[in-house]
Chains A and B, each alone.
Chain A
């Protein structure tokens, strides 16, 4: 895939928003892949965590918004503690989720959950799920 970069493109509002919400400097990443090597959720991911950062650097928002990966991450912070460049990858993924959630694009539809879905599940699970996957 060919991607043409330009000074203009580096100022894409999506890239700036991800950097603002995550508090991270995306260009710090040098693609060592350590985040993906230790991530316990990679088996459910279509885009690996290091690729999420790369795509965010390049402003590939549609690919990121439609990926399974941003919802597979449960913010366990393993990538953050291992990144040799000190990037909080979990915060980058949170920022992408937040951009969608702030447009009311919920990933979990609470109203469609049945009593059976919620039965026996403790409040700590329901609240954290709704906090991370609904607006």
Chain B
């Protein structure tokens, strides 16, 4: 299968650890992805107002780039927000030919007229549906033995229902992946509770409070690390632990890891790809304790 790869705005900087670990894991799994030669930010959030077509141009333009890349009209993303925005915009134009025509007209200089025919994958979907978890298990060389992972799904992998690729109330895809990697998934009640998202810019205290609630819940269930799939969740849950600790001195820190970093460790990727220097709470002590590094 030929696949394009859409990185999005944050994977080249703050979430370089997400990109490098995911690309290394994909290479180990024998999946070839080709980064789009030109791409733009998807806009990060889907435009929810019915008449707001101009903001669908950014995601749709990226889908035109996928058409131009000749990768069987398939594209993979890592970021949960990119996945959500691209997929929702795609569904919007698929279900509304009139909007699609206007959007194409607004991009009249593009050589390709978009027809709604690109398939968008999130890496997790690819692991579950194309590679499959039993096959993934066979490729594990460094099982995540004794590592208890609380999987945080957040909002955009599972909501709204039309774009989510797992149950919106009780998703299990990350837990299944962790099991396949030899780790122990830890269920916790806050796994789909919003982290506060972009409120981190205008009201970081709210995010610090959410971080306390979500992470304390994971700690209570005995988790060693929390796995995430969204760079904004990662920023809020990891970096905002600084503010959380200032407000709640008895708060117990816990490392946040991208699910791709767990994948890379289990598949024996070079530790260069993990880039733990980008983390506020360093996962290395617990990983060393478990004999994983």
Contacts and interface: CB of A to CB of B under 8 A. Distances in A.
A75 B161 CA distance: 14
Contact of B50 (A21, A44, A74): A21
A110 to B, nearest CB: 10
A118 B9 CA distance: 16
Interface string A67-104: 00000101111101100000010110011001000000
Interface string A91-135: 100110010000000011000000001001111111111011100
A20 interface: yes
A77 B159 contact: yes
Among B192, B210, B232, the most chain A Cβ lie within 10 Å of the Cβ of B232
Q: Dominant SS at the A interface?
A: helix
A120 B52 CA distance: 31
Size bracket of the A interface: 35 or more
- In the complex, which of the residues A72, A94, A95, A128 has the most CB atoms of chain B within 10 Å of its own CB atom? A128
Which DSSP category, helix, strand, loop or mixed, fits chain B's interface? loop
Contacts of B206: 44, 72
Interface string B189-215: 000111011111111001001100000
A74 B135 CA distance: 38
Given A74-B199, A78-B194, A125 B232 contact: yes
A22 B159 CA distance: 17
B231 A122 contact: yes
Q: Kindly name the residue among A23, A74, A88 whose own CB sees the greatest number of chain B CB atoms within 10 A.
A: A74
B92 to A, nearest CB: 11
A41 interface: yes
A90 B155 CA distance: 13
B8 interface: yes
Q: Counting chain A CB atoms within 10 Å of each CB, which of B51, B168, B198, B235 scores highest?
A: B198
Contacts of A132: 45, 198
A117 B9 contact: no
Nearest to A109: B202
Contacts of B99: none
A91 B235 CA distance: 26
Closest 3 pairs between A and B when the two form their complex, measured CB to CB: A76-B194, A77-B159, A122-B14
